[in-house]
Amino acid sequence: MIRRKRPVAGACALLAALTAGLAFPAGAAAGEPTGQDAPKVNLVLDVSGSMRAKDIDGQSRMAAAKQAFNEVLDATPEEVELGIRTLGANYPGDDRKEGCKDTAQLYPVGPLDRTEAKTAVATLAPTGWTPIGPALLKAADDLEGGTGSKRIVLISDGEDTCAPLDPCEVAREIAARGIGLTIDTLGLVPNAKLSRQLSCIAEATGGTYTSVEHQDELTDRVNELVDRAAEPVVTPVATEGAGSCAKAPTLESGLYTDREEFGRQRWYRVELLAGQELRASVSVAADRAVRPDHGVLLRAVTVHDREIVRGEATGNGRTDVLSTGLRYPKPERDDDDSDKPAAEVVCLVVTNSFSADSGVKTTPGLPLELTVDVVDGPDGSDDVASFGLGRGWWLLGALILTGFLAGLVWGWLSRWRVAVWRTN
């Protein structure tokens, strides 16, 4: 069972620093924003009878979901049009045909009235069946129109109970519509069958699956997905890394996807001019059962295989995605460097230490997402350079000198006071 825990704060801060503010110009290889219309998010919540179970931080799954929704509604960006759809919220009977029709729009997709939306959420009580497939079809219809990003966030604690309408096939049908809709799924129960179904739904549309077992994890993840909807949508570009730097593809700023075999390396090249800074981050997803204790390593090396800088992350089997990043500023050229080339080829090497469980297919490789950003480096007038203190040495020297002089004065005053006291 692959489960995701809250990421380590330091790793998240590093990844955020690396990816914040990425700008992809028009016509860039990594794609363009889908348009200027408001982004739309439809939260689809399972309100079936099983949501009564009290196994999330001592409270029921329904109570945890309500609390998470209230916090998410408070934090939703103003520019996001948000709606809430339920499944299994209204029909309490045993008629399967009726139970599989039980999906309704609790709050319509549009400009958010937080008070009204919270009032609607407060009325929910665990009731009926789990018609995930029908709910997804209706949720996609709720998001029709406009050119902004569209996202469904499905939260469920159980498998669909309305087969043969397979939710995975429904997700593939939605993806085939070509409306740019992404489905992210969150599972509230550490169940292998549920994990497979929700993973399949997410994968069909390029979304993510996350297993959560605590209320704060649910809040954080839904908030993250809603915030992501407000960001410019960039279409990843498929690339194919090589087994060595010499054969690696040269990448420009952008977002790239690839596949990496278990325990192998992928090499990529980036050209960096003097005064520019390379920012890179990588995520490798375990899209199948893997053994615990694994890691991801991202290195920047020279063409002669000398390591410049690295970033790494490790997991213990409770995470479904590992991410790390790095930064490398190439210094400005001095007059003494006139005989050196102005450009430098930096090789990015992605290495993973995932290993498959017995009987698990190892092909294709694990999904890999690589972000590359080449920007102008820090201004030489900055007080502190990115790598080293730069002009900060002056500040450090001034502080040392000030401390030394203060110590001399304090020592002299102390000796003078003692001498006066003895005289008296």
Q: What is the pLDDT of residue 421?
A: 63
What is the H or E stretch that residue 182 is in? strand 181-187
Structure-block tokens of residue 273: 């001019």
* Separation CA 38–CA 149 (nearest Å): 8
Helices 61-75/215-230 angle, 10° precision = 30
What domains sit in the chain, N to C, each tagged with a CATH number? 33-230 (3.40.50.410), 237-376 (2.60.120.380)
- The answer to whether 106 and 85 have CB atoms below 8 angstroms apart is yes
The pLDDT of residue 167: 93
* Closest to 172 measured CA to CA, from 206, 205, 208, 138: 205
Amino acid at 14: L
Instruction: Compute the C-alpha angle 116/117/118, nearest 5°.
Output: 95
pLDDT in tens, 79-133: 999 999 999 999 999 999 999 999 999 999 999 999 999 999 999 999 999 999 9
CA distance to 56, 58, 299, per residue, from 213 (Å)? 6, 11, 33
Helix (H, G, I), strand (E, B) or coil at 231: coil
- Collapsing DSSP states into helix, strand and coil, what is residue 40? strand
Q: Which amino acid is at 30?
A: A
The pLDDT value recorded for residue 377 is: 64
For 100-163, the DSSP string reads: TT-EEEEEEEES--HHHHHHHHHT----S---HHHHHHHHHHHT-SSSS-EEEEEEESS--SST
Position 7 scores a pLDDT of 37
Q: How far apart are CA 187 and CA 45, in angstroms?
A: 11
Task: Specify the pLDDT at position 18.
Answer: 34
Check: CB of residue 415 under 8 Å from CB of residue 314.
Answer: no
Query: Which residue in 155, 208, 158 sits closest to 186, CA to CA?
Result: 155
Gap between the terminal Cα atoms of the chain: 81
The pLDDT of residue 345: 93
CB 300 within 8 A of CB 308: yes
What's the pLDDT tens digit per position in 23-72? Answer: 333 333 333 334 468 999 999 999 999 999 999 999 999 999 999 999 99
Of 299, 202, 201, nearest to 245 (Cα)? 299
Q: Which of 63, 71, 70 is closest to 47 using CA atoms?
A: 63
pTM over 0.85: no
Q: Give yes or no for a contact between 322 and 314, defined as CB atoms under 8 angstroms apart.
A: yes
Counting as low any pLDDT under 70, the low residues of the chain are 1-36, 232-235, 317-320, 333-341, 377-397, 399, 418-424
In the chain, the amino acid numbered 10 is G
Q: Cα(161)–Cα(164) distance, rounded to whole angstroms?
A: 9
CA distance 347 to 248: 8
CA distance 384 to 395: 10
